[in-house]
Structures are given as C-alpha cells and as structure tokens.
C-alpha cells in the first residue's frame, strides 16, 4: 500500500538526509523544497524519489555539495555559466537570478549553463521568471545514460532532453509548458516500475529494439546487460526538438553532448541548459502582447470540450490543480520508493520514519 505524507514532513526528512550527505542547511532546504514541490505539482518523477540517486552521486563524487555557479563569460546580455557539478536546484536558481536581473536591465538575456547536476523540474525556473513578468525559454540536455531512441533508431542514444516555455499572462496564472522530449519522462518509468505497472504501448522498446510495455527495460539492465529505450514524443518532430535540446543545451553551453556507451554503475546526472529571457515591458509590443495573449487563451478555452475532457486547458493548469489537491491530501509515495528513501538516509546514519 502506498503511504501519504505531508509536504512539510517530507521536506524535513529530505533536508536531514541532504545535510548528512554534506550540504549546508540552506542548500539542503532549497533542494528539499524543490523536490517536494515537484511531487506537489504531480511530477513524482522529479520529486523526493530522486533523493537516493542524488546521495549516490555525492558518494561517487559526481555531485559536489555546496557548489556555486561560476560566471565564465559575461557581456551583459550574454552569460556563460558553469554549474561546477553542484546541485542543479541551487545552481539553477542562482543562474536564473543572474539572468533575470540582466533581462530586467537590458530587455533580454541569453544564458548558457553547463556542468550542473540534475536541474530537476525545469518548470521551476520558468516559474521564477514569469513571477517577474518575464518570458522564459529553456532547452536542456541530459548527460547520464542514453535512454531515448532517435526516430527510426533501435537503441537509446540521448537523454530525455526537456524543453520548457513560460509566458506570463497579465492578471492570470501563466502559460507554463514543461515536458521531456521522450514520450514520457524516465523518472515516470522508475515510478511505474516501482509500482509494478505496465506502461502504454508506443512508449518503450526493449534491449533488442522491439516494442514493449515493461518499464523494467529502462530501469534495470536486461539479460544481455543492455537497457531498452524510451521513444521520442511526436515522432520525427519531437525527435527533432530533442536533438535541438542536445545541440543547444549540450554543445552551445559548453556542457557537452552525449556520445559514448552506457556505464550502468554511474548515478550522476548532469544537465546543460540554454535559457532565453525576454522582458516584454522593454518591447514596443507590450500592450498588444498582454491583450492578444489573453484574447487567444480566452478563444482557446471558449471552445467545446472533446468527449472525455471537462474543458480545454492551457499548459500549467494541470500542475496547479494537482498542487491544490496534494496540498490538502498529502503526497502519495509507493512502498519501493519509500524504502529507497529510507535506505538512502541509512547510508548517512539518518533514521527515517517508516510508513
Ligand atoms: P508531461 O508529459 O506531464 O507534460 C507536462 C506539460 O504538459 C506541462 O506543461 C503541463 O501543464 C502540460 N499539460 C498536461 N496536460 C495538459 C492538458 N490536458 N492540456 C494542456 N496542457 C497540458 O511532463 P513530462 O514530459 O513527464 O515531464 C515531467 C517533468 O520532468 C518536467 O517538469 C520536466 O522539466 C522534467 N524533466 C527534467 C529532466 C532533467 O534532466 N532535469 C529531464 C526530463 C524531464
């Protein structure tokens, strides 16, 4: 039976383990807050279930607690940043703060960030920007294991390369599009595997390149020692966007692209991220931007709902609904994930409450 946890309890447990794994109090609180927020918004794949992987990465030396973002190059509107293998939740916020200040000052900022550990839910960074009235675009690559097959390919060659676009809507919650370019996020396969569930056809291929619905193929090495792969969303179009994320998030940032065989023992996940920030108040289109954006969203949502749907939504709405629900009802965690979290604490002599 899965268990329900209050967000504040999870924050406290996760922060305690992170502290024991070497993080300062501030860093532990930031990472714990970010992970629990992902659960609250319905993306359990990027929530507290990542903790065991993070502490393994600390132990293997690939994740460096208490690192800060390093400015490699700064022209005012162009920033080249290095995450120094620090917690992505912290490095990402530090980077966004720098980029947002520049966008407010100059009207825009193009920011490359390489060599940071897992940034988690990319939408968090777009939320920071839209809260300040900024438009925010993010193209991200993932250096950990090539879990996604190219369109027309039969094995994994790159990561789940997320793409995210945040657009403020005056007087309303923002448009917040945030997704992996694989048909589903890899972490959702871990959650499905831990819950003993099969996944939808068309999501996965096995280690021989054959279609399968068993999430184990991308979570544990198969009989031949290889993994299967996730498929790209949107066929050749989603695949094209994923390659753009690799080229922009990996090559352009200096963080690097993936081009080597899998090492199943490595737990470190590095992200590269290209961020483009725009301050609409600095463009002569500000008034029409605000009016036209609202008019379009109203027009979209005035349409009839299709069978099986209650209403037309815009990106960001499902997460807001889930957040309100989970705030009240708590966060459900499956047994296997909770056991992994407890075991992660034990590595640092932290006793976690049992379910
Ligand atoms: P998903 O498939 O759940 O898609 C989420 C997006 O679709 C959101 O913007 C959501 O608002 C929108 N959406 C969902 N239903 C909708 C509807 N009915 N109408 C309109 N819009 C709708 O997300 P995912 O691909 O599983 O990604 C989950 C998370 O994983 C994201 O936060 C992403 O940033 C993160 N991620 C991170 C990494 C990394 O390496 N850091 C890698 C991959 C994914």
- Average pLDDT over every residue of 191-216: 94
CATH fold group of domain 68-181+236-302: Ribosomal Protein S8; Chain: A, domain 1 (3.30.1370)
Taking CA atoms only, the protein residue closest to ligand 1 atom 17 is 313
CB 143 within 8 Å of CB 271: yes
Phi, psi of 64, deg, nearest 5: -105, 105
Taking CA atoms only, the protein residue closest to ligand 1 atom 28 is 179
SS3 of 43-82: the string is CHHHCHHHHHHHHHHHHHCCCCCCCCCEEEEECCCEEEEE
Q: What is the mean pLDDT of the chain?
A: 95
Residues contacting residue 192 through CB under 8 Å, at least 6 positions apart: 198, 199, 215
CB 127 within 8 Å of CB 176: yes
Percent of the chain whose pLDDT exceeds 70: 99
* Residue of higher predicted confidence among 82 and 266: 82
CATH class of the domain whose range is 1-66+318-355 = mainly alpha
Question: Which residues line ligand 1 at a C-beta cut-off of 6 Å?
Answer: 43, 45-46, 118-123, 142, 160, 162, 164, 176-180, 184-185, 188, 271, 313-316, 318-319
With cut-offs at 50, 70 and 90, classify the pLDDT of residue 263. confident
Q: What is the pLDDT of residues 111-128, one digit of tens each?
A: 999 999 999 999 999 999
Q: Please check the confidence at residue 187 and state whether its pLDDT lies above 90.
A: no
With cut-offs at 50, 70 and 90, classify the pLDDT of residue 351. confident
With cut-offs at 50, 70 and 90, classify the pLDDT of residue 99. very high
* Residue of higher predicted confidence among 58 and 224: 58
Task: Report the chain's terminal Cα–Cα distance, integer Å.
Answer: 10
Domain ranges of the chain: 1-66+318-355, 68-181+236-302, 183-231
- Average pLDDT over every residue of 8-32: 97
Taking CA atoms only, the protein residue closest to ligand 1 atom 43 is 180
- Average pLDDT over every residue of 123-145: 97
With cut-offs at 50, 70 and 90, classify the pLDDT of residue 353. low
Which superfamily does 183-231 belong to?
A: Hypothetical oxidoreductase yiak; domain 3 (3.30.60.50)
The pTM (predicted TM-score) of the whole model is: 0.96
With cut-offs at 50, 70 and 90, classify the pLDDT of residue 166. very high
Q: Please check the confidence at residue 355 and state whether its pLDDT lies above 60.
A: no
- Two structure tokens written together for 176: 């917040």
Q: Parallel, antiparallel, or unpaired for β 172-179 and 211-212?
A: unpaired
């Amino acid at each position: 039976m899965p268990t329900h946890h209050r967000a504040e309890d999870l924050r406290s447990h996760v922060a305690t383990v992170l502290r024991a794994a070497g993080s300062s109090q501030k860093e532990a609180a930031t990472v714990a807050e970010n992970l629990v927020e992902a659960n609250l918004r319905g993306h359990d794949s990027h929530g507290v279930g990542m903790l065991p992987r993070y502490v393994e990465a600390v132990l293997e030396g690939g994740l460096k607690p208490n690192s800060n973002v390093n400015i490699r190059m700064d022209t005012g509107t162009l920033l080249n940043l290095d995450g120094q293998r620090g917690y992505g939740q912290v490095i990402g916020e530090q980077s966004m703060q720098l980029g947002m200040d520049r966008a407010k000052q100059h009207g825009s900022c193009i920011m490359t960030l390489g060599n940071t550990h897992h940034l988690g839910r990319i939408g968090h960074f777009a939320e920071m920007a839209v809260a300040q009235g900024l438009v925010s675009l993010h193209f991200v690559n993932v250096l950990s294991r090539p879990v996604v097959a190219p369109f027309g390919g039969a094995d994994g060659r790159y990561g789940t390369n997320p793409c995210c676009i945040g657009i403020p809507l005056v007087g309303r919650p923002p448009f917040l599009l945030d997704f992996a370019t694989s048909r589903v996020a890899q972490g959702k396969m871990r959650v499905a595997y831990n819950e003993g569930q099969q996944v939808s056809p068309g999501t996965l291929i096995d280690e021989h390149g054959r279609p399968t619905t068993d999430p184990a193929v991308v979570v544990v090495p198969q009989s031949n020692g290889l993994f299967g792969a996730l498929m790209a969303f949107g066929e050749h179009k989603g695949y094209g966007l994923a390659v753009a994320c690799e080229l922009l998030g990996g090559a352009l940032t200096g963080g690097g692209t993936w081009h080597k065989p899998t090492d199943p023992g490595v737990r470190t996940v590095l992200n590269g991220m290209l961020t483009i920030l725009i301050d609409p108040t600095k463009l002569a289109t500000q008034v029409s931007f605000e009016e036209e954006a609202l008019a379009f969203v109203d027009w979209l949502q005035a349409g009839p709902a299709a069978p099986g749907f209650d209403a037309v939504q815009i990106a960001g709405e499902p997460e807001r609904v889930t957040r309100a629900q989970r705030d009240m009802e708590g966060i459900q965690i499956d047994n296997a994930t909770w056991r992994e979290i407890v075991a992660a604490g034990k590595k640092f002599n932290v006793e976690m409450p049992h379910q």
